[in-house]
Amino acid sequence: MEFFLASSDIVNIWESFLKKSTEKTPYDQMIWKNTWINHFSNGYKFEYLHNEDFFVPLKINDSIASIIGDKDIVDYNNFLSINQNFSKFEEILDQVFSLNIKSFQIFSISENSSTYTLLCNKKLQKTYSINFQKEDVSPYLKLPETWEEYISNLPKKKRHELRRKIRRLEENTEYDSGDYSTPNHKDEILDNFFKLHRMSSQDKNKFMTSKMENFFIDLISQMLMTNSIIYSYLNIDKSTVACSLSFLDSNIRYLYNSGFDPAYNNFSSGLLNHAFAIKRSIEKKYDVFDFMRGNERYKYDLGGIDTQLYTVILEKK
């Protein structure tokens, strides 16, 4: 893959950090950052800062630095790190502010990340004014060994509701559900995803502009080439009525976006598509099913537990 605006030396360093980093998400991958840059780079300049322990890819506009991406389509940001050495973290922040910026705005930092822990170190307050803002929540689910164990771990009312919804689907429809993760299904994936995403709600229809659609087409196509994206579907009576896109990284499945046909709401098609995806994730021995950003009810109905996301803004004193 040709990487836009990054030298071959930076690409090699980035790849090394991705291999060695103790914490990373799909949004840290070059393929993701590259796709974002190719579609949304206007007005920004880019810097790739690193030392022995940390790597951070930056975009800069109007003297404000932030990690490459946009919180409308990024659920997690992070500093790639090999060790969480505080003095090296201070050093990388010094590099950021040596770029003659006024503010470093770090969006979508998980409370469970080492980046958040380092930013909370009070020693930083000697040099920086630091503002922590609650941004959103990101529910996740630790996956058990079996589907039966997953069902039994749900609270009684939610367990009963999920079983009832599955039974209603089984008794009243001919259905099938599965996953695709290879390029030979690309056309079907793209057609169904955009159709069902736009049908789901007015907000989703408004979100999916032609510019955003082109980004998703590029992202899905690139990630199918590396088997790092999973398309899940639910068909009822031979028609696809719900689907989702998930990233796969470090044995964690990250639910990124989804869509459903409101005409099949009586069968809870959107929720059951996610439930069946969880079932297959358990069968494949994934460690976590991460619902990611947003407090939609279905995430809690399926057992999600919140993680807090923060925006952290640093300014030099």
How is 262-317 classified by DSSP, letter by letter?
GGGGGGTHHHHHHHHHHHHHHHTT-SEEE--S---HHHHHTT-B--EEEEEEEEE-
Other CB atoms within a 10 A radius of the CB of residue 227 amount to 11
- Flag whether pLDDT at 2 surpasses 80: no
Residue 54's nearest CA partner among 25, 93, 27, 26 is 93
Q: Establish how many alpha carbons lie within 13 A of residue 55's alpha carbon, considering only the half-sphere containing its beta carbon.
A: 22
Q: Establish how many alpha carbons lie within 13 A of residue 187's alpha carbon, considering only the half-sphere containing its beta carbon.
A: 1
Cα separation, 48 vs 68, in Å, equals 10
Domain-wise residue ranges, the chain? 8-137+309-316, 140-290
- With bands split at pLDDT 50, 70 and 90, how would you rate the model's confidence at 4? low
What does pTM read for this prediction?
0.95
- At 8, the amino acid letter reads S
Fold annotation for 140-290: Aminopeptidase (3.40.630)
Q: Tens digits of per-residue pLDDT, 145-170?
A: 999 999 999 999 999 999 999 999 99
Task: Classify domain 8-137+309-316 by CATH number.
Answer: 3.40.630.30
Share above pLDDT 90 across residues of the chain, in percent, rounded to a whole number:
97
For residue 108, the model assigns a pLDDT of 98
- Flag whether pLDDT at 173 surpasses 60: yes
Q: Name residue, tokens 């439930």.
A: 275
For residue 301, the model assigns a pLDDT of 98
Same fold, 8-137+309-316 and 140-290: yes
